[in-house]
Structure 1
C-alpha cells in the first residue's frame, strides 16, 4: 500500500501555503465551523493569526444532518475565505462535498477537506487525487482504521501524496460526548502509515470544556497537529457553538500547544525512525 510506513521511514511533510504538517512542531488549523459573514470570518481569522495557528479553517459548504440547518454561504463563503487569507496570510482549509465542486473549491482553497460523511465517496477521492492540492481526510463516522487508510489510498493511487489524516471521533454507545475521540487510532496509524495525522477534538467531543485537554492528549499520543473550532462569539454561532472555543480559551490553548512543542522537539522523530 502507498500509505504504508516502511521501516525507518519518517512522516511525510505536507505543505499547505507556508505551513508544514508532519514536521518538528504541531500544526494547528483553527477557525469557525462555518463561514457566516464577512465580519465574523475576519474577526475569527485575526484571532486565529494572533494565537499562532498556521491555517484558517471554515466551511463554505456545510453538510448538515437536518435539511433545515444552515448549509453555508457556498461560493460567497469561499470568496470571504480568500479575503481573510489576503489580510492575514493564513492558508485556507475548507470542505469540498462532491467531485463536481472540486475545481471551484480548489480555485480558492489551499487545502481541500473531505468530511467524515464523504470518506468513502470514491469518485470524490479519485478527483482529489488529480486536483493538485493537499487533502485533509477525516475518518468516517464508524470507519475502521483499515477503511480510513484505504480511503487515503484512493487519493495517493491517483497521484497525490499530500494527504493528512484527521481523527475526528467515531460513533459509539456513549452519549455524553458528541463522538468518541479515538486516540488509540492516532498512535496506531502513526505506526502503520507515513502520512501525518491530526486530531479534531471539537467534533471528537462536542464539548468546548474538553477541547483543551484532548488536544494536548492527542499531541502526546503522536498527533502532528489539531483542527480546532474557534468563534469570536460562540453563543451566536450558526452551527457548533457549544464545541467552539471563545477567544481567551483559544489563546490559552495555543500557549500550551507551543509549550508542548518545545518539550517534545522531537522525541517522536526518533521513534518514527525506529518503526
Structure 2
C-alpha cells in the first residue's frame, strides 16, 4: 500500500467511483492499494478481465476500515430462524451437506450516509459435486456417465460413486479416474471447510457493495493493479452498530441509511483458491 500526501484538501477532485461521483474530504483517508494475482488478490474471468478475490477485498479494507457484523441467527427461505452460519447434514451419511451464512457490512457513502450491505449465501456441496463431476465427464467420457441409478451394474457400484440430482437420474464417476479422484477430494474438502467457505463468500458479496470498494472489474497489467480506496470516517461504536443491525433485521430498513441486500446460491459458482482462514488482517477469515 502506498501513502499519498495531500497538502490542500479543499482542492481534492473526483478520485474513484463506479458512478464517477465519489469525492474525498478532509475527514477521509485515501490509499492506493497494490493488488497482485501472485498474492491472491486478483482473479481472472473467462472473458480475460480481472476482478478482486476475497483477499483483494481484505487488502482494500485495510484502508476502508469497513465493519463486519455476523448476526447470531439467519432466516431461511422457508421461514426458519436458525443459527448463523447454519449447517444441514445428510441423513444417510451424517456428514455436512448444505451451508448458509449471512454477513452484514456497515460503511459510509460519499454523501456521509451509512450504507448497510447484507449478503445471504447458500452453499450446497451436493450440487457443487454434481456440477464438477458432470464437467469432468463432458471433458473425458472415461470419467463416468449420466444415468439412472437402476442401470448401474454391481461392478460399477463397487468401482464408482453415484449421486442422484433429479429423482433416480444422476451422475456416476469411476473411482480409478484421476479427474474423479480430484472431484471427490473437493467434495471432502467442502464438507470439512464448507462453513468457512460460505462465510467467506457471504462476506465478499457484502463488502463489494460498499461504495469505498473498487469496481468489481478492474484493469490489471501483468497480473498487477493499483486501486484507490477511500476510508470514510464514521462515529459508530459497538452499541450503534448493534442498533443498526437490530433495526435492519426487524424492519428490513435503517432510518437514514442506504440498504443493499443480496441473496444467492453459490453452489454453481467457481470457488476461488485463496484462503488462509486464520489471519484477520484487513477483514475476517472464518
Who wins on radius of gyration, i.e. which is larger?
2
TM-score, length of structure 1 as denominator length: 0.22
- With CA pairs under 8 Å and 6+ residues apart, which has the higher RCO, 1 or 2? 2
Q: Which has the higher helix share?
A: 1
TM-score, length of structure 2 as denominator length: 0.21
Q: Which has the higher strand share?
A: 2
